[in-house]
Structure 1
Amino acid sequence: MKNQSLLLTGLLIMVFQFTIAQGSPDYTGGLKFKFNEEGTKYLRLISWAQVQANYTADETFDSNGNENSQLNFNLRRARILMFAQINKDFLILTHFGLNSLTSANLSPTGKGDGSQLFFHDVWAQYSLGKDHTIGGGLHYFNGISRLNNQSTLNLMTLDNNRQAWATIGLSDQFARHLGVFLKGKFNKLQYRVAINDASVSSLDARAAVAGGDAVYNGRSSLGSKAAGKTYAGYFDYNFLDQESNFLPYKVGTYLGEKKIFNVGAGFFLHPKGSVIDTGTAINPNIEGEDVAIFAADAFYDAPLGENGSALTAYAMYQNSNYGKNYLYGAYGTGSMLYYHVGYVLNGDKLKTRFQPYVSYGIHSYDAVDDNRSTLGVGINAYMSGHNSKLTLEYTNQSFGAIDSNTITLQAMIYL
């Protein structure tokens, strides 16, 4: 029995291999189980949690007219991701978890919608040679922009710019489509393209009204033959250090660990994705309208000198056509300009490092004269790079009569 225990301990030591995450000089976390000595056959496990305390400066009321507490807590994300290869020619990835669990959607027995785990990604992929891969499943190889492919493990801002996840809940499941993708690179040009099925269900459950504006539920209204497919692509040219495209998740900030300058462009097309009613109340006539979204962006991340300081900057322009005068929540036919910039202050990489940042987005809509603006001012405290960090952010959102101000403190641990 003693010999078996020693053998088991030895095997565990042999299969545990660790890789370095962005900006974590004192932590080599990220568990990797090796199934052969070379490490080409393995299972990789990643887990992370983001917990928030949100203070809203504005008074709000519930459906019964009672005033809501201005301080609330939120389990923003709790995720587990694993991927495995037993041969360099193919890979399987599984990613599950929950999002935005609050006291409002907690379930007494953990069976409510807010408490439920669900699959974010499940796909299989096959190598087509050294630099090209084909795959399929529920995947995150999205088009449009870098932010539409953003990782939530290494964000620079508190969270992603909401409007940049341009189809979330409209044609997909939480920014993931079910379909096939092709990804790879030609020298310094990386690419990802996909053909997917549009979801029958949509957050936009409105019915088209005669003479009214477009609604985004073409697959449900017109069927899968007429409105069942979406097409997406994103292309970025890596001028300096080459980013990995092994997984689809784009890094938010490298904290100066690389020198990156990329320029990209992308698209999303959903033929007849939206519908309008060109008839009358008595004789409706439902017609499809194409959804077309295009964007161009640039990303820069580099160290400044030898003292640990670093600059991260990003800018993106997005043009969105969801159909005639479409407006639903954060989505709308119109255009958006967004940017953020952050600066890692001088400091010892083995100690806590600070990164103040600012973000700003402005979104114009064809349907209304008012613009939506979002301002974020915050600071990150990296205790072990992205593996352990605190983020404090003040956010102001303004749209028409709505002007909200929120202060959020978020703790994140990523292993």
Structure 2
Amino acid sequence: MRKTLTILCLVSNTLVFAQQRADSVAAAAPPLPSQKPAPEKNELKYNLNESGSHFFKVTFLNQTWLRLNQSNPGTTVIGEPKNNTFDIGLRRTRIQMFGQVSDHVFVYFQFGMNNFNFLNASPGFNTTGTLSNRKVQAFFHDAVAEYLVFKNKDYLKIGGGLTIVNGLSRFSQPSVGTIMSMDVPVFAQATVDQTDEFSRKLSLYARGQVGPIDYRVAVSDPFPVQTNGAAPPALGPNANFALKGHNKQFQGMLLYSFFDKEANQTPGYMTGTYLGKKKIFNLEAGFITQKNAVWHTGATATDTVYQAMNLWSVAAFLDMPTNRAKGSAINAYLGYFNLNYGRNYLRYNGIMNPASGTTQAVGGLGGTQGNAFPMFGTGSVIYSQVGYLFRQDLLGSGGTLMPYAQAQIGNYDRVNKSMGVYNFGLNWLIKGHNAKLTLDYQNRPYYQALPATGQLDAQGRRGQLVLQYQVYI
């Protein structure tokens, strides 16, 4: 017992001496430098090699809409007349997965859904009593592999698969998470959900950047229009996409950059605004052509005439800082679109349409209810937009603001006067494009068909107000 007590005393004295010695050494040593907090990450990225030149990345996008809409005349919602509607929907919900898996190989996938409101309005709400399923909605938008011909050089990339690489314009292949306005000018996605899959096509393409020139060319295998989930219009005197025959589609786009080059990583997608991070001024020209893409009746009801689809555009795009120190910037676009879908082609479209039917069909055209207007047609369109990004500390830690305006002026062969659709909006950029609120007001015309000619004649105007909340990781 006495030995045990002696051992415990020795151990205790040793520990006390060691602690005193450590305290004195710590007091004499210079203070350690304070550790800086790790920088906040803004992406979900996994490096496949030590340098990070090979990587795989995942992004998530969700755009929620709260909308109040003045209905076009005759609008019904699930069988009841509605002069106004209020709805909540998901304009876009997307997952992107892409990466540089070797020095030469890039892969890109996108999965998600669009226009998901109470009607589940894509491909369309049916009132025929047949079964429908609101859970069948999400699909692969893109699945493409690309080969970089020259290592570490963007001179030539060859790719293939389901892709949005497109010829007509920058807004035919928009990066929807970075657009300046609440929504893109959808008319520029010329065959959307007719002979493509939400503007994507099965294509073989080449693209690249050589000095100030950015180019892309593609040959696409369009889908038959009868596979788009809606009943195709009957053959008649006005052109519609043909139900017989199958021809490849050819498209190309050339862009000249006067200052900084644009982002060129993901296949096709073109940034809406860099929020003052780049100095961009571009001129662009693009086209899409397809032999015998549409048909209509000729001299008699049994005489079928096939026509080519020929679309082209020219445009200028500006996105640059006005004060780098404060982070303010300007965004502007002006484009002319010459659109030949065949004789008197015209198609209504309403984005995430909040209505299911109409009692006042317009000139035998489908989908004229709710917020729809003649969006696609043979003729020409002038599209412009302008926005101004205020200084980055405008709202302190709460972000900044970016107001904008859009104008789409259509001169379609089947509409007897110019059609103007106007949008005015305000972005609250809480954290750039990663978190933003957008309030948008749209003013559009509505029409009746003239009995004598079948031409569409404007009868008045309607509006819609949308609040969008975007989260983008």
- Superposition TM-score, scaled by structure 1 size: 0.86
How large is the RMSD of aligned CA atoms in angstroms?
2.1
Offset at residue 362 of structure 1 (A): 0.5
Change (3 A) 1:246 1:377: same
Counterpart among 279, 286, 311 of residue 266 in structure 1: 286
Residue 175 of structure 2 corresponds to residue 151 of structure 1? yes
**C-alpha distance in structure 2 between counterparts of 1:156 and 1:114, whole Å:** 31
Contact 2:53 2:100 in 1 (8 A): yes
**C-alpha distance in structure 2 between counterparts of 1:229 and 1:64, whole Å:** 41
Residue 137 of structure 2 corresponds to residue 100 of structure 1? no
Deviations 1:181-232 (A, max 9, x none): 10012211000110011111255811222xx121122xx32x22xxx20011
Counterpart among 161, 181, 184 of residue 137 in structure 1: 161
Counterpart among 317, 323, 327 of residue 336 in structure 2: 317
AA matched with 2:260 = D
Match of 1:346 in 2: 391
Deviations 1:338-363 (A, max 9, x none): 10000012342854100011111110
Identity of aligned residues (%): 33
**C-alpha distance in structure 2 between counterparts of 1:115 and 1:401, whole Å:** 38
Change (3 A) 1:27 1:71: farther
Match of 1:238 in 2: 257
| Secondary structure at the counterpart of residue 196 of structure 1 | strand
| Secondary structure at the counterpart of residue 298 of structure 1 | strand
Counterpart among 251, 255, 265 of residue 271 in structure 2: 251
Deviations 1:49-85 (A, max 9, x none): 0001001245853252343763211111110010123
Contact 2:169 2:253 in 1 (8 A): yes
Contact 1:62 1:68 in 2 (8 A): no
AA matched with 2:320 = A
Match of 1:196 in 2: 220
Change (3 A) 1:267 1:188: same
Contact 1:144 1:293 in 2 (8 A): yes
1:37-116 map, 5 Å: 37-58=50-71, 60-62=75-77, 64-67=79-82, 70-105=85-120, 112=133, 115-116=136-137
Contact 1:146 1:297 in 2 (8 A): no
1:137-216 map, 5 Å: 137-202=161-226, 205-209=232-236, 212-216=237-241
**C-alpha distance in structure 2 between counterparts of 1:64 and 1:199, whole Å:** 32
Mean alpha-carbon deviation: is it higher for 197-206 or for 135-144? Answer: 197-206
**C-alpha distance in structure 1 between counterparts of 2:101 and 2:376, whole Å:** 42
**C-alpha distance in structure 2 between counterparts of 1:67 and 1:279, whole Å:** 41
AA matched with 2:101 = I
**C-alpha distance in structure 1 between counterparts of 2:53 and 2:429, whole Å:** 32
Match of 1:32 in 2: 45
**C-alpha distance in structure 1 between counterparts of 2:334 and 2:211, whole Å:** 24
Contact 2:71 2:82 in 1 (8 A): no
Counterpart among 340, 353, 373 of residue 420 in structure 2: 373
Change (3 A) 1:66 1:326: closer
Contact 2:46 2:56 in 1 (8 A): yes
- Superposition TM-score, scaled by structure 2 size: 0.76
Counterpart among 283, 287, 290 of residue 305 in structure 2: 287
Deviations 1:251-290 (A, max 9, x none): 1111111111011000000111011222533xx2323101
Mean alpha-carbon deviation: is it higher for 97-106 or for 405-414? Answer: 97-106
Match of 1:13 in 2: none
Contact 2:178 2:271 in 1 (8 A): yes
Change (3 A) 1:402 1:142: farther
Offset at residue 368 of structure 1 (A): 2.5
Match of 2:33 in 1: none
Match of 1:21 in 2: none
AA matched with 1:28 = K
Offset at residue 156 of structure 1 (A): 0.7
| Secondary structure at the counterpart of residue 172 of structure 2 | helix
**C-alpha distance in structure 2 between counterparts of 1:274 and 1:58, whole Å:** 31
AA matched with 2:86 = L
Contact 2:46 2:55 in 1 (8 A): yes
Mean alpha-carbon deviation: is it higher for 248-257 or for 291-300? Answer: 248-257
Deviations 1:119-167 (A, max 9, x none): 1000111112122110100011101111111111111111001211111
| Secondary structure at the counterpart of residue 61 of structure 1 | strand
AA matched with 1:105 = N
Contact 2:62 2:92 in 1 (8 A): yes
Offset at residue 367 of structure 1 (A): 1.8
Change (3 A) 1:355 1:114: farther
Mean alpha-carbon deviation: is it higher for 30-39 or for 346-355? Answer: 346-355
Contact 1:361 1:373 in 2 (8 A): yes
Unaligned runs of 5+ in 1: 1-25
Residue 425 of structure 2 corresponds to residue 383 of structure 1? no
Match of 1:123 in 2: 144
| Secondary structure at the counterpart of residue 384 of structure 2 | strand
AA matched with 1:39 = G
**C-alpha distance in structure 2 between counterparts of 1:69 and 1:296, whole Å:** 38
| Secondary structure at the counterpart of residue 169 of structure 1 | coil
| Secondary structure at the counterpart of residue 147 of structure 1 | helix
- Which of structures 1 and 2 has the bigger CA Rg? 2
**For this pair of structures, how many residues does the alignment match?**
378
**C-alpha distance in structure 2 between counterparts of 1:317 and 1:327, whole Å:** 18
